[in-house]
Structure 1
Amino acid sequence: MKRKLLASTLLLALSFNLPVCAKNVTLQELQQDVLPANVNMNDSNKSFTKDHWAYKTLENVTKKYGLLVGKPEEKFDGNKPLSRNEAAILLVSLVGKIEQDNYELTEAEKVQVDILRQELTSEINGLTGRMETLENSVESLKGTVSNLEEADKNAWQHSFGEKFKINGALQGKYTGNFERGSDNYASNFGIPYTELDFTGKLHKHISYRALLLPSRAFNNSANGIIGDAYVSTDIIPHHNILLGQTRRPIGYEGMFGPTSINLETIDKSQVSRKLSDIRDIGIRTNGNWKFIDYYLSANNGQGQNVSDNNNNLDLGGWAVIKPLHKAPQFGSLELGGGYYNGKSTYSHETFGFYSGYKFKRYAIRGEYTQKDGYLTANTKAGGWYLHNSYYLTDKMQLIARYDQFDPNTKIGKNDVSEYTGGINYYFKGNNLKLQFNYVYVDDKVGKDSSRLVTQTQLCF
């Protein structure tokens, strides 16, 4: 369309913007006044040689005003005749440059150009027609390409899908005991966690994830190396629906908070390790808004990488409200809680509460979780923690946590408390960091312990 408008504009310029002169004159008078005496106006079907008046007109005007477009060697060399179509193209280009750069032609030059326009009217009209045809062809081609692109968006992609990525993580840890206790932490080197994370999009609104945990192959884990494995869709605004294996929606730290690669402490709290850090197979819906996040799920209830052996489903939900979402200058406040219940070998139910606050470099969060049906049908367990962190610099962070867990609330004075203090140094965020934790364990039933743990992490 732009070319069509350009051609029309140039033709109008040729017709109206270059008047012959202020007085009415005949074509014969013009020939006598401004054209060479030997010009023959009746050779309209021939090419223009170097001696032709049309050739001379184009040559003189373009050279005078520096309007000839092209490579330096592409010039009127006086050897090659100029076809009428070539002359028409040059004339249209010439007038376009004059209009664009506001050149002022002399009256004689205006007359010469106008006579040349009359001479080449049929070629110019044909040129305009070809431009329109070309423009229509281009528009048609654009439509075809657009349709193909739209069809491609609606089609399934190749086997890996769009935006296919592989990420990974590797942790190396050393534990040194000052006093070994009932928790049986050994003084040794270890690789506590590794992961390979495969993600991608199969369709505009369909994504997938496959998280492999190779470290479980040699740390005696009964859960297998497959972590998260699901397909998801965000076709509903503000929602993401996951189908497959993922975490149960209970407990902030176990489910929604720090993962193994972005923990501020080397280990999660006791209550998270024992009650809420659990994967299962099922369907989960996540809702994310500025003022509230919520999570609902239905799971088999058998746990990670285990086939279902009954008709029962576990049901659970968790919600977090953000009261300060409209006043971030006062920090970030979150208040949440949830409930989860099910029945496999026996009935069980878990509930918990969480709160967290961040302001500039300081953050504090706490959580309480209780489970009826912990390990056995009649056992009730519970615990809580309070976690503090403060950034001394953009790379150095101090942490302090108190953590208590009671494996059987019906028995008095059998809880275990952990006191953790440490420092983290982030060379490149969580992608490359070094952590030091001192942990003292107060065991009301067994033997107390204390240890110094250091861990380094590399993510890619």
Structure 2
Amino acid sequence: MKRQLIYATVFATLGIALPGLASAEGFYFGEETKGITFTQGDSDLTIRVRFQPRFDYGEIITSKDGTNYESDGDLYLRRVRLEFAGRIVPKVKYNLTLDGDRWDQAGNSNKVSVKYVFVTWEPDPAYSFFFGKLKLPFSRDQLTSDSTGLMVETAAAVDNAKNIFGASNGYFQPKIAVFGKLMEGSIAYEVALADGWQNGETIQNGRTVYKAPPLVAARGELSPPGWAEPKKLGSHLGKGQHLAVGLSYARQGSIEYQENGFEEDRSLWGMDVSGHFKGITAQAEYIAWEIDSSEPAIGETKPEGWHVQAGYFIDGLNIEPTLRYEVYDEDTKVDESKEKSTTLGVNWYGKGHSLKVQANWVHTDFEDNASGRLTNDDSKDVIQVQGQVFF
């Protein structure tokens, strides 16, 4: 009862305080900022800084004997980013982004790393070339910038899928890619070649990789004429319209184990539909992957998941109620291995995505064979409150 009272108090406080910062026209603190830009001849450099203070409260730890969830709080910085981006010449772009994700979160070791570093050559909208480190081309939820996310976190299935092609957050890795848009954006595509798993890395099943061929990933998107999305956004803040259907596929086969003569293949596929019209935003996504090992003791694993989410931006108040329902099956070959989550949220925008506050209430139920199921607990509730300053 105490837990539910705290959750209700958080949302009631936001409901009373945030509308008080409403603006009759535009955002209370003005329009979004886009960083500081320096220009010399045909070259330019834009510097941007972003940080997201975060507070989680609820059943985020387990009891000392590990049989049930216990309530606790954790205050940390979910993301800290320093971005340098621009053009070397008119059709050649570059980006270097440093990050300090989950800074001071319980159990996390603080470190600064290179999140993105890449160069693109864009001679024509129909075909452009990429080299560097960035996201692999699959999953609408992951490809959407987390600075514009409709919800505080990505869906569980999508979050787990990002780790199947590398030892440490393999969704972000060096790649060579060709990408482009046709028919004024009605058709968009990307085909990428990346390292994936490499020699000496320990794969999730405990085996060490001896060698493996490159990872291939591809994505295509279709939109009706006039409904193409110039840039993927989680929330469009009541502006414009888009409708898109996306298909993704990625595969790395013949990943040889160092310990023996066995190997495994990894494949991923997904489909998503997204759209918005003025204040209404909605998205649905299905993603699945297969890990097929020739070693009998490991065998085959087939996780999958899907989610639907929506929000409605209320102009003037500049608040956006949101809702998501998701199902993640950790292995479709195992009965009762699903976790099901319902998320209720609200976003407030003081300066568009440059200054905002998001609050989510996440309730998760675990089936008997799901990894989150504890002896005396088959569900948990967590409140996530996250701010963003992006300038």
Residue 402 (structure 1) aligned with residue 330 (structure 2)? no
Partner of 1:238 in structure 2?
A: 126
Q: Give the Å deviation of 1:186.
A: 4.7
1:322-401 equivalences in 2 (<5 Å): 322-325=223-226, 332-343=242-253, 344-345=255-256, 346-373=264-291, 378-394=300-316, 395-401=318-324
Work out which of the residue numbers 147, 156, 160 in structure 2 matches 1:270.
Answer: 156
CA offsets 1:189-246 (integer angstroms, 9 cap, x no match): 1111111111122223222111111236755379971111111111233333110111
Gaps of 5+ in 1: 1-156
CA distance in 2, matches of 1:183, 1:326: 45
Over the residues paired in the alignment, what is the CA RMSD in angstroms? 3.3
Work out which of the residue numbers 289, 296, 300 in structure 1 matches 2:195.
Answer: 300
Residue 227 (structure 1) aligned with residue 120 (structure 2)? no
CA distance in 2, matches of 1:281, 1:261: 22
Q: Give the Å deviation of 1:393.
A: 2.3
Moved over 4 A (4+): 178-186, 216-219, 221-224, 374-377
Q: 1:347 to 1:416 in 2, by over 3 A?
A: same
Structure with more of its chain in helix, by fraction: 1
Q: How many residues align?
A: 299
Which amino acid in structure 2 is aligned with residue 294 of structure 1?
Answer: Y
1:81-96 equivalences in 2 (<5 Å): none
CA distance in 2, matches of 1:372, 1:170: 35
Q: Give the Å deviation of 1:360.
A: 2.5
CA distance in 1, matches of 2:141, 2:74: 27
Residue 281 (structure 1) aligned with residue 187 (structure 2)? no
CA distance in 2, matches of 1:236, 1:309: 40
CA distance in 2, matches of 1:441, 1:300: 35
Structure with more of its chain in strand, by fraction: 2
Partner of 1:431 in structure 2?
A: 354
Q: 1:166 to 1:310 in 2, by over 3 A?
A: farther
Partner of 2:344 in structure 1?
A: 421
Q: Tell me which structure has the larger Cα radius of gyration.
A: 1
Q: Give the Å deviation of 1:361.
A: 1.5
CA contact (8 A) 1:432 1:459 kept: yes
Q: 1:211 to 1:425 in 2, by over 3 A?
A: same
TM-score under structure 2 normalisation? 0.69
CA offsets 1:56-80 (integer angstroms, 9 cap, x no match): xxxxxxxxxxxxxxxxxxxxxxxxx
Work out which of the residue numbers 70, 73, 79 in structure 2 matches 1:193.
Answer: 79
Which amino acid in structure 2 is aligned with residue 364 of structure 1?
Answer: A
Which amino acid in structure 2 is aligned with residue 175 of structure 1?
Answer: D
CA offsets 1:55-105 (integer angstroms, 9 cap, x no match): xxxxxxxxxxxxxxxxxxxxxxxxxxxxxxxxxxxxxxxxxxxxxxxxxxx
Q: 1:311 to 1:206 in 2, by over 3 A?
A: farther
SS in 2 for 1:354: strand
CA offsets 1:6-33 (integer angstroms, 9 cap, x no match): xxxxxxxxxxxxxxxxxxxxxxxxxxxx
Work out which of the residue numbers 44, 56, 60 in structure 2 matches 1:163.
Answer: 44
Partner of 2:14 in structure 1?
A: none
CA distance in 2, matches of 1:415, 1:452: 21
Higher relative CO (Cα under 8 Å, sequence separation at least 6) belongs to 2
Which amino acid in structure 1 is aligned with residue 270 of structure 2?
Answer: G
CA offsets 1:155-201 (integer angstroms, 9 cap, x no match): xx99x982111112101111111686678885211111111111122
Q: 1:312 to 1:179 in 2, by over 3 A?
A: closer
Partner of 1:123 in structure 2?
A: none
CA distance in 1, matches of 2:50, 2:313: 24
Q: 1:393 to 1:184 in 2, by over 3 A?
A: farther
